[in-house]
């Protein structure tokens, strides 16, 4: 019998070694595997390279991992948020390395790793600072930059439900990076709200087939979601968006 479920978050993150590269799912707080990150903090692995869209919110989850100075480098598209004070402090103090990647290139490079693509030509970022040094090629009248896959030793993913084969479904926009990170890591560790019996997930609706999943742990409902104020993004000056609507400097994150 195949049974990828493990009994605790401690068991789920066992064996992650110092120096590992870890993808962490989530877009802000949605889809962030906070319980697994907490277990990783307790587990103690150090000198990590983290791949996430952001660089932590508030003082929990990824932000807490950063605060413990366990992260050598972070690869993300949008570190600066109104509640990214932990990262901000480390960055300004020169205590963390940042590699900034446009969000779509980040997603596609992660997908490429999972799909065995050696490299691909992307139009995103061409002519900007973020494509400096990259190979540029004109194809069919348009300029593209060559982008390489991003893979990882581990992926920590938060999904909604799983069966014991590791088949996953997500909830709403918490899906975000989960499916592509699950496929791009050597070992994929998933937390879910709920484990369900094999056969109860509709095969038409499985988003991540179990082939991409190594360990699954049920964490129940994520209580920390209630705690966090739902103030979302931040403008380019670092102010919460509610106050930013009048600044005229809004960008996407």
Partner 1 sequence: MTETATTATRIPREQLAARIAQDIPEGSYVNLGIGAPTLVADYLPEDQEIILHTENGMLGMGPSPVAGEIDPDLINAGKQPVTALAGAAYFHHADSFGMMRGGHLDVCVLGAFQVSQGGDLANWSTGAPGAIPAVGGAMDLAIGAKNVYVMTDLLTKTGESKLVEACTYPLTGVGCVTRVYTDHAVFDVTPDGFAVREAFGDNTVELLAELTGLKLVDASSRGIREGE
Residues near a second copy, by CB under 8 A = 108, 112, 115-123, 137, 139-140, 142, 144, 148, 169-172, 202-205, 207
Q: Name the token pair of 76.
A: 């993300």
Which of partner 1, a second copy, none binds 121 (CB below 5-8 Å, type-dependent)? a second copy
Do 34 and 60 touch, CB atoms closer than 8 A? yes
Kindly compute the dihedral angle of the four CA atoms of residues 28, 145, 147, 140, in this order, to the nearest 10 degrees: 110
C-beta closer to partner 1: residue 42 or 100? 100
C-beta closer to partner 1: residue 70 or 80? 80
Q: How far is the CB of 59 from a second copy (least distance, A)?
A: 31
Q: How far is the CB of 16 from a second copy (least distance, A)?
A: 23
* Phi, psi (deg, nearest 5) at residue 92: -65, -30
Q: How far is the CB of 210 from partner 1 (least distance, A)?
A: 7
Which of partner 1, a second copy, none binds 165 (CB below 5-8 Å, type-dependent)? partner 1
C-beta closer to partner 1: residue 139 or 246? 246
C-beta closer to a second copy: residue 35 or 108? 108
Which residues, in sequence order, are CB contacts of 3 under 8 Å at separation 6+?
A: 164
**What is the distance between the alpha carbons of residues 199 and 161, in angstroms, rounded to a whole number?**
12
Residues in the chain: 253
Which of partner 1, a second copy, none binds 132 (CB below 5-8 Å, type-dependent)? none
C-beta closer to a second copy: residue 41 or 126? 126
**What is the distance between the alpha carbons of residues 233 and 241, in angstroms, rounded to a whole number?**
6
Which residues, in sequence order, are CB contacts of 198 under 8 Å at separation 6+?
A: 163, 164, 165
Q: Where are the alpha helices (DSSP H) in 59-102?
A: 62-67, 85-92
Q: How far is the CB of 18 from partner 1 (least distance, A)?
A: 25
Which of a second copy, partner 1, none binds 169 (CB below 5-8 Å, type-dependent)? a second copy
Which of a second copy, partner 1, none binds 56 (CB below 5-8 Å, type-dependent)? none
Q: How far is the CB of 78 from partner 1 (least distance, A)?
A: 4
CA 237, chain centre distance (Å): 24
């Amino acid at each position: 019998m195949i049974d990828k479920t493990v009994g605790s978050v401690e068991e789920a993150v066992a064996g992650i070694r110092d120096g590992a590269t870890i993808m962490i799912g989530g877009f802000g707080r949605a889809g962030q595997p906070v319980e697994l990150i907490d277990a990783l903090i307790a587990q103690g692995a150090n000198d990590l390279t983290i791949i996430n869209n952001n660089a932590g919110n508030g003082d929990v989850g990824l932000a807490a991992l950063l605060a413990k100075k366990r992260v050598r480098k972070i690869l993300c598209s949008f570190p600066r948020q109104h509640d990214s004070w932990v990262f901000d402090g480390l960055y300004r103090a020169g205590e963390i390395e940042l590699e900034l990647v446009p969000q779509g290139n980040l997603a596609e490079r992660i997908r490429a790793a999972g799909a065995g693509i050696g490299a691909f030509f992307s139009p995103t970022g061409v002519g900007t600072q973020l494509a400096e040094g990259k190979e540029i090629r004109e194809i069919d009248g348009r300029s593209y930059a060559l982008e390489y896959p991003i893979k990882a030793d581990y992926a920590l993913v938060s999904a909604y439900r799983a069966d014991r084969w590791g088949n996953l479904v997500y909830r709403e926009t918490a899906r975000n990076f989960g499916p592509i990170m699950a496929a791009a890591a050597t070992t994929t560790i998933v937390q879910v709200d709920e484990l369900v019996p094999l056969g109860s997930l509709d095969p038409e609706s499985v988003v991540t087939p179990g082939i991409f999943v190594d360990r699954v742990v049920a964490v129940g409902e994520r209580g920390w979601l209630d705690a966090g104020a739902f103030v979302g993004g931040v403008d380019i000056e670092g102010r919460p968006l509610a106050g930013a609507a009048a600044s005229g400097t809004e960008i996407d994150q």
